[in-house]
Structure 1
Amino acid sequence: MTRTRVETDGDERDDDSAAERGDEAADDDYDHLKSLDDGAGCTEIWEHLSENRDD
């Protein structure tokens, strides 16, 4: 199960709604990030997205 931290108006909570729904659409939201190494920072993510975007 993947947990996502969500901050709304200063309150943090775990967003388990995607995992609870169990639908594949939630997994599709993150497919473009699967090739990133764990712990990748903002720069690595930005570079990865830039290299793989459709022009």
Structure 2
Amino acid sequence: MGSQATTEDDASEETPDDRHLDGVADGCGCTEIWEHLSEQRAADD
């Protein structure tokens, strides 16, 4: 079997470009949002 050189395209597939998330604080994922909304709904009851 021959050895393949890693190309720039291969490297971009391995490491996703997440620069669009640079301004988003940690803890702003779906789970945290769901928990926050659940707590608000429970408080409204």
Q: State the TM-score, normalized to the length of structure 2.
A: 0.33
Structure number having the greater strand percentage: 1
More helix by share: 2
Normalised TM-score (structure 1): 0.28
